[in-house]
Chain A
């Protein structure tokens, strides 16, 4: 059975781009446009992996990530964060400061996305 991946992003373009990459490799996809919807689908659909943006309106990516890691049902789902923010900047501190008791994301992808790198990271985490 195909592995199920949840893509969470408030930009349709990003969802389409990620979908095009992953679909071609035979993954089953679910999508959500914000953190609230993303969290709901993570619980109900039990995806094998989550690819998510960290900067989203309303319930932002950081909030959703913390909820995922605090929830027994979802905390073991591997998460890849996709963002335009460069690694090593204030974003790291933000994530660490707000959730000292939770582990960091399993993968981190900077925009613009390199399709090959995304596919490799996803298949490594799922194997």
Chain B
């Protein structure tokens, strides 16, 4: 219920109006003059004051002024005579809410009071809202501060390195992870150091180009891109980089990048590969027991035949026995070489060399094996007489920076497999041929070993990259392709094959050519672990 202070010097009016207002649910305080009115106002703090203008002593205008001084939000309605319009206007100028004229019309009074009430309500709401707004702003500011602190913390304490730069390239964020990663302090980097300094020459541009291209996560994004950073001390640090272009509305404003240190991961990977390889060698030795027994059997056979020939004067046994010894010495040295290459962590021994020369050496060696004197002396692999070896070398290939010993071993393994693929084919009337081919390609060079032998079924093709899988029974170690793959991987090359049962197989090795070559130049070889046939 609203409280109304009614000030009027005429008692009948106070009575009538007071009665009327009370009957309309107002609480009414009355005062007979201005002074009394102000006192009552101070005591009761009514929200609405209804005052006559013309009063002896303190008049209505003065009451209005004082009330407004005490509480400017009080609604003051003045009561004037018809002739006192100028006083009414003066009152309004002094911030009276309304005026009503004498004789007071009850309806007009109620409306004026209702309006005053509405204004009060509106003001209350406005104040509430304003007060709330202040609280809300305060809360929002607090939240913003928390969020900002949280984000700063997040950025600062992230294990990953985080670096952000403006469009101009100026570095604006450089967190602790970043400091640890590359060894520069944030204070010497932010706003000072060009971004390129943390990359080896050219890498920064490549990353920018990649960010703007589709390849890694789409345009303006970079997802799990592996590259290298260069530390203050000049150490190359393998890192996985993710990043994004930052936008304000539609305009690119900068770039943020996240760097994951791959040093430990790479080291663990190397250790894992090494230990896997050693355990594989253990398995291989067990699995190759009968392969080695066969070699030993051949050696003993050869020795026995040579001895018999000498002791019992049987000259025809001598060349046969000796060829058997030679053949098995070759087999065991191949085996040992493959095992050594496979088990050792080795750096490719790259030199400037001619790929065609390597192919020629392998051709000469295998040609001798297939058609030379040794093979005629001893009918070693009788079906192989039908296997012809050809070469097709691209004369436009120049010197390349590669590991000739490794590639020689790979080619030898592939040609040996090709020969076996021909002797495995049951059609004995077929003319078998093997071609060693070299070709120059955009990014490097290619070696093909093409045979028209037995080919591989899909089942064999799938298992080809399983460890120690062999189709040669006790005559295969399952190591040949394993070693081949390893050497190719070390050179940053790739191996692939195409095969059809009964038609033959083509193995292709691709190598990057030149000193800048690294593992990234070409796709890594196939999937899974390779093995020999």
Residues in B whose Cβ lies below 8 Å from that of A55: 473-474
Instruction: List B34-81 residues whose CB lies under 8 Å from chain A.
Output: none
Q: Cα distance A19–B298 when bound, in Å? A: 13
Chain B residue numbers with a CB within 8 Å of A113 are 297, 300-301
Query: B301, A14: Cβ atoms under 8 Å?
Result: yes
Residues of A within 8 A of B308 (CB): 20, 24
B503 within 8 A of A: no
Interface residue A57 (Cβ < 8 Å from any Cβ of B)? yes
**In the assembly, what is the distance between CA of A79 and CA of B301, in Å?**
21
- One of B290, B320, B328, B473 near A16 (C-beta < 8 A): B320
Which chain B positions have C-beta within 8 A of A112? Answer: 293, 296-297, 299-301
B475 to chain A: which residues have CB within 8 Å? 11
A17 touches B305 (CB 8 A): yes
Flag whether B382 is at the interface (Cβ < 8 A).
yes
Judge if A124 is at the interface, Cβ distance under 8 Å.
Answer: no
User: CB distance A16 to B305 under 8 Å?
Assistant: yes
Chain A residue numbers with a CB within 8 Å of B297 are 13-14, 17, 84, 111-113
Q: Does B289 contact A (CB under 8 A)?
A: yes
Taking a contact as CB atoms under 8 Å apart, the answer to whether B305 and A84 are in contact is no
CB of B424 within 8 A of CB of A57, answer yes
* B224-242 contact mask (Cβ, 8 Å, vs A): 1 or 0: 0000000000000000000
A56 CB → nearest B CB, Å? 8
Q: How large is the interface on A (under 10, 10 to 19, 20 to 34, 35 or more residues)?
A: 20 to 34
Q: Which positions 347-401 of chain B face chain A at CB distance < 8 Å? A: 379-382
Task: State whether B294 touches A11 (Cβ < 8 A).
Answer: yes
Which B-chain residue is minimally distant from A17 (CB atoms)?
B301
Interface residues of A in 84-127 (CB under 8 A from B): 84-86, 110-113, 115
Asked if B312 CB lies within 8 Å of chain A CBs, one says yes
- Closest chain A residue to B324, Cβ basis: A13
- B426 CB within 8 Å of chain A: yes
Assess the A84–B304 pair: CB atoms within 8 A. no
Q: Which of A20, A58, A83, A86 contacts B301 (CB 8 A)?
A: A20
B327 within 8 A of A: yes
Question: Does any Cβ of A come within 8 Å of B317's Cβ?
Answer: yes
Which residue of chain A has the shortest Cβ distance to B305 in the bound complex? A20
| Residues of chain A with a CB closer than 8 A to B290's CB | 83-86, 111
Name the residue among B289, B294, B382, B424 with the largest chain A CB count within 10 angstroms.
B294
Known: A11-B294, A58-B426, A112-B300. A16 touches B324 (CB 8 A): yes
A28 within 8 Å of B (CB atoms)? no
Say whether B432 faces chain A, with CB atoms less than 8 Å apart.
no
Q: Measured between alpha carbons, how far is A34 from B324 in the docked complex, in Å? A: 21
- Residues on A with C-beta less than 8 A from B379 are 12
A6 to B426, CA, bound (A): 23
Expressed in whole angstroms, the minimum distance between the Cβ of A72 and any Cβ of chain B is 30
| Closest Cβ–Cβ distance, residue B361 to chain A (whole Å) | 27
Min CB distance A23 to B, Å, is: 9
- Which residues on B sit within 8 Å (CB–CB) of A13? 297-298, 301, 324, 327-328, 380
Provide the residues of chain A in CB contact with B259, threshold 8 Å.
none
Q: Shortest beta-carbon distance, B183 to chain A, in Å? A: 59
Contacts of A30 in B (CB 8 A): none
Q: Identify 16 residue pairs between A and B in the complex whose beta-carbon atoms are under 8 Å apart, listed by A's number.
A: A13-B298, A13-B327, A13-B380, A20-B305, A20-B308, A20-B321, A21-B304, A24-B308, A57-B473, A83-B290, A84-B290, A84-B294, A84-B297, A111-B290, A111-B296, A112-B299
Q: Spell out A's residues near B (CB within 8 Å).
A: 11-14, 16-17, 20-21, 24, 55, 57-58, 83-86, 110-113, 115
Chain B residues close to A by CB (< 8 Å)? 289-291, 293-294, 296-302, 304-305, 308, 312, 317, 320-321, 324, 327-328, 379-382, 424, 426, 473-475
Q: For the A-B complex with A12-B380, A17-B302, A111-B296 known, give 15 more contacts whose Cβ atoms are closer than 8 Å.
A: A11-B475, A12-B381, A13-B327, A16-B301, A16-B305, A17-B304, A17-B324, A20-B304, A21-B304, A24-B308, A24-B312, A84-B294, A84-B474, A112-B293, A113-B300
